[in-house]
Amino acid sequence: MSFFSHPNSSTPWHAGRGAPGRQEGQPDAGAAPPRRTLPSGRSSPAQQINIILGLAFLTEHTDDVQRSRLAQHAGNSPATVGDCMGFLSDVGLVRAARGRYAVTDHGRAFAQLWPKDSARARLVLRPLLQAHWSGEAATRLLADGPLPQEQLAKRLRAGLPGVPLRGMYLVEWLVIGLVLVRDEQLRIHLASPDGVPPAAAPCSGPGKDTTQEAKAEPPVPPQRQQEREPGEDLAEGAAGTTLLGLTRQEVQALPDARYAAFLEGVLLSLRGALTPPS
């Protein structure tokens, strides 16, 4: 039994969410407030998803894997992989301890769905991010209406260390997880209660239905899959790879006005990444 195992395997256990044996959703008596973790600023959400996919692949027939092995597989430095694990662990996708990592049941379900059906994968992710402190905070901050994404990112990151880009990446995770949605003016709204992405806005083009594009991109061509080790870098070109919440297909289909707003959002993200920590 590895140090990740629990004698009662039928009882859900989530790293960073209290002691083993506590049923999900039950409060811990006297428990401290949840940690306000942020995504790593060293890698984008798409790269962090790639780390989850790699971890699921490497632990298919074993309990856990060393940080150095996962870093080599994902094409990142060990420091970058380690920096990602606090947030991914608190969300409930991975377990991390003493430089070794395992994927949770939720993480494995997400990893299995993401390359072939990102819409279903995002639904797996949604309750995890709703339970994360950021889901509750975003719901409170958006109670009176939408906010520009940069402003929401700044408010979510308030009082926490690190570069501003970490706040932008947090908003991006919440968009991927269907907790939030982004409109054509790059304002952030609360998602609908059922988590189904909204239909395309009128400015997406006359008579154009982008619902299918929002659900999934075409799978990775077989030739590209043969050029890499199974499970390696599956986020690249996979169904749900996004930039500011949009897939490559959706970016290419944007009308001129919305494309200009999208570029402005990219510039805001770059400016945040280059701004020295406060």
- Evaluate if residue 216 carries a pLDDT over 60: no
- Choice between 254 and 147, residue whose per-residue pLDDT is larger: 147
Q: Give the separation between CA 81 and CA 65, rounded to whole angstroms.
A: 12
My answer on whether 251 and 123 are in the same domain is yes
pLDDT level of residue 162 (50, 70, 90 thresholds)? confident
- Choice between 241 and 7, residue whose per-residue pLDDT is larger: 241
Residue 179 domain flag: yes
Residue 229 domain flag: yes
Show Cβ contacts of residue 107 under 8 Å, excluding neighbours closer than 6 positions: 52, 55, 56, 88, 92, 93, 94
My answer on whether 93 and 181 are in the same domain is no
Average pLDDT over residues 149-163: 92
My answer on whether 99 and 139 are in the same domain is no
Residue 59 domain flag: yes
Q: And the tokens for 204?
A: 């997406």
Find the domain containing 91 and state its range. Answer: 45-112
My answer on whether 103 and 140 are in the same domain is no
Q: What is the pLDDT of residue 194?
A: 72
β-partners of residue 190 are 180
Residue 9 domain flag: no
Q: Give the separation between CA 111 and CA 103, rounded to whole angstroms.
A: 9
Total domain count, the chain: 2
My answer on whether 138 and 264 are in the same domain is yes
Task: Answer whether 85's CB lies under 8 Å from 35's CB.
Answer: no
Distances (CA, A) of 228 to 79, 222, 224: 23, 11, 7
Q: What is the pLDDT of residue 248?
A: 66
Q: What is the pLDDT of residue 161?
A: 86
My answer on whether 100 and 133 are in the same domain is no
Q: What is the 3-state secondary structure (H, E, C) of 155-196?
A: HHHCCCCCCCHHHHHHHHHHHHCCCEEECCCCEEEECCCCCC
The last residue of one of the domains, among 96, 112, 128, is 112
Q: Which of 48-57, 150-159, 175-184, 257-266 has the lowest mean pLDDT?
A: 257-266
* Percent of the chain topping pLDDT 90: 51
Q: Per residue in 172-192, pLDDT tens? A: 999 999 999 999 888 999 998
My answer on whether 126 and 71 are in the same domain is no
Angle at 126 between CA 123 and CA 132, to 5 degrees: 165
My answer on whether 258 and 190 are in the same domain is yes
Q: Which of 52-56, 129-133, 183-187, 232-236 has the lowest mean pLDDT?
A: 232-236
**Side by side, which strands form the sheet with 100-103?**
65-66, 100-103, 94-97
The last residue of one of the domains, among 65, 92, 112, is 112
Q: Per residue in 229-274, pLDDT tens? A: 444 444 444 444 566 656 666 666 666 656 666 666 666 655 554 5
The last residue of one of the domains, among 57, 91, 112, is 112
CATH of the domain at 97: 1.10.10.10
My answer on whether 138 and 265 are in the same domain is yes
Q: Per residue in 86-121, pLDDT tens? A: 999 999 999 999 899 999 999 999 999 999 999 999
My answer on whether 144 and 205 are in the same domain is yes
β-partners of residue 181 are 189
My answer on whether 129 and 221 are in the same domain is yes
Measured in whole angstroms, how far is the alpha carbon of residue 150 from the centre of its chain? 17
My answer on whether 250 and 121 are in the same domain is yes
Average pLDDT, the chain: 74
